[in-house]
Copies of this chain bind each other. A is one copy, B any other.
Amino acid sequence: MNELVLLVVFLCVLVEDVVMFKSDPVLPHLDDVWWGPNELKMHNDTSIRPFRIHFHHDMIQDLRYRLLNHRPFTPPLEGVGFDYGFNTDYLHSWVDYWANHYNFREREHHLNQFPQFLTNIQGLDIHFLWVKPRVPPHVKVVPLLFLHGFPGSVVELFKAIRLLTTYSEDRDFAIEVIAPSLPGYAFSDAAIRPGLGASEMGVVFKNLMHRLGFDKFYIQGGDWGSYIGMSMATIYPKEILGYHTNLATAITLSAFGQYLIGAIHPPLVMSTAVMDRVYPITKYFVWLMTELGYMHIQSNKPDTVGVAMADSPAGLLAYIFQLFSSASRRKYVYRADGGLDDLYTRDELLDNLMMYWVTNSFTTACRIYAETENIRNLYLGIMGHPTPVPTWAIWAKDEITYLSNSMLKTKYTNLIHSTVLQGQGHFLAFEAPDILVKDVFKAIDAFRKWHKKH
């Protein structure tokens, strides 16, 4: 019960802050900050340039050398799984695969399967995929901003993009996908000055969509992509036609109050079929604390931890793949192989890793934590501000949290639906693109009907 008391007060504290924000009827506002070098301002290039990924010969040679000459791995403690982190008994085979079996040229080709572009927004070259469906003339094509998170990249969205942009006659619309690399990720430039958090990235992506000619559009996001989408739906309610997310958050007075009541007796606030996802509260919080050390250090000292990750491909692999393990299934922490091969192919996991390695962008990618999980961002007041944008949530069984519709409606006043899955994990687009895409089509169909009524 100790933890319950602790939680009650913790929630009261947050709730007080949220009430403070909620009492402010003015929409949060963010400026168009210039994040790149100041000299670029003078000759602002607004062109949209085609882009292709190239694996330089020297980069491959260097990477293979580093992998094959890694220093000895520390053996895991007897009988452990992934409890202490990546189990090095299983690291050897990964390093061997990357160095000796990953087909760099073939994968390079694979990574270039979609049209890619760069365009400069607020001083930063933003990398994005722009994939249009082939449709008959009468079919309405709607734009979807499709957002990845950490430690992912556009690679985790590939299979979903292919499905999303495949036209089917049984729908009266088709989707064109715009999937950018977040600033600081992969081939998108990183900010050169402090302050580019997840909400500020929302400004960048709104400007990106305007640049491409889309005044209004839909959003899908998980992980940080979900946070950015939430921010955009809050700041630009008239431009976002609908928000679909596989990690819906609602940090509001009422949502916390409900969660709190559930701490005493979960069935009071959610179905018994799902309550084990976030209750008992003690077990859930201990699990969160045990898994979120990476989040803590990245929100404190991204530049420190990044030096080694830039230098060591084996280390980067262990760091990123351990997160793919723990966020995919909670039970994988007990497995010595982390369960990685159960859900993903080695090639696709390494494709995603290459986006970090090739561009040496781990540090700048980590900075989103430091730039978002701070007091400044809290005082922006975006998290607790309600949005009227029609919203559709989908919940994987092993997602890191779960909120009931009643909780979500305190933030998303026009919540259309929540799909509750009995399986799958945090990287839904990567693990189960068919399930995600089917849900997105349903959601956009519902959003379109909703707009016709309103």
Q: How far is the CB of A150 from chain B (nearest CB, A)?
A: 15
A304 with B291: in contact, given A13-B2, A71-B311, A311-B315 (CB under 8 Å)? no
From 3 to 24 in chain A, residues with beta carbon under 8 angstroms from any chain B beta carbon are: 3, 5-6, 8-10, 12-13, 16-17
Interface segment out of the listed A79-87, A139-147, A404-412: A79-87
Q: How far is the CB of A190 from chain B (nearest CB, A)?
A: 8
Residues of B within 8 A of A76 (CB): 303
One digit per residue, 1 when the CB lies within 8 angstroms of any chain B CB and 0 when it does not, for chain A 289-329 equals 11111101111111111111111101111110010000000
Number of A residues contacting the other chain (C-beta, 8 Å)? 69
Of B192, B304, B360, the contact of A322 (CB 8 Å cutoff): B304
A79 with B194: in contact, given A84-B367, A304-B85 (CB under 8 Å)? yes
Contact A88 B307 (CB under 8 A): yes
Contact B312 A308 (CB under 8 A): yes
From 83 to 100 in chain A, residues with beta carbon under 8 angstroms from any chain B beta carbon are: 84-88, 91
Question: Which single residue of chain B is at the shortest CB-CB distance from A309?
Answer: B308
The yes or no answer to A231 lying at the interface (CB within 8 A) is: no
The distance in angstroms between the C-alpha atoms of A322 and B306, with both chains bound, is 12
The distance in angstroms between the C-alpha atoms of A3 and B309, with both chains bound, is 35
The distance in angstroms between the C-alpha atoms of A77 and B309, with both chains bound, is 18
Of B8, B73, B307, the contact of A312 (CB 8 Å cutoff): B307
Residues of B within 8 A of A191 (CB): 77
Contact B311 A70 (CB under 8 A): yes
Of B2, B289, B300, B317, the contact of A290 (CB 8 Å cutoff): B300
From 46 to 90 in chain A, residues with beta carbon under 8 angstroms from any chain B beta carbon are: 66, 70-80, 84-88
Residues of B within 8 A of A87 (CB): 303
Question: Which single residue of chain B is at the shortest CB-CB distance from A76?
Answer: B303
Residues of B within 8 A of A289 (CB): 300
The yes or no answer to A270 lying at the interface (CB within 8 A) is: no
Q: How far is the CB of A306 from chain B (nearest CB, A)?
A: 6
The yes or no answer to A246 lying at the interface (CB within 8 A) is: no
A77 with B307: in contact, given A12-B5, A72-B360, A360-B72 (CB under 8 Å)? no
From 361 to 385 in chain A, residues with beta carbon under 8 angstroms from any chain B beta carbon are: 363-364, 367, 370
Of B13, B192, B293, B308, the contact of A296 (CB 8 Å cutoff): B293
A-B pairs with lowest CB-CB distance, top 10: A308-B315, A85-B304, A85-B303, A293-B297, A311-B312, A85-B301, A293-B300, A308-B308, A74-B363, A296-B296
**A to B CB contacts below 8 Å, 24 in the list:** A5-B12, A74-B360, A74-B363, A74-B364, A78-B193, A84-B302, A85-B305, A291-B300, A293-B298, A293-B300, A293-B301, A294-B300, A296-B297, A297-B305, A304-B318, A307-B314, A307-B315, A308-B311, A308-B315, A309-B315, A310-B312, A310-B315, A311-B314, A312-B312
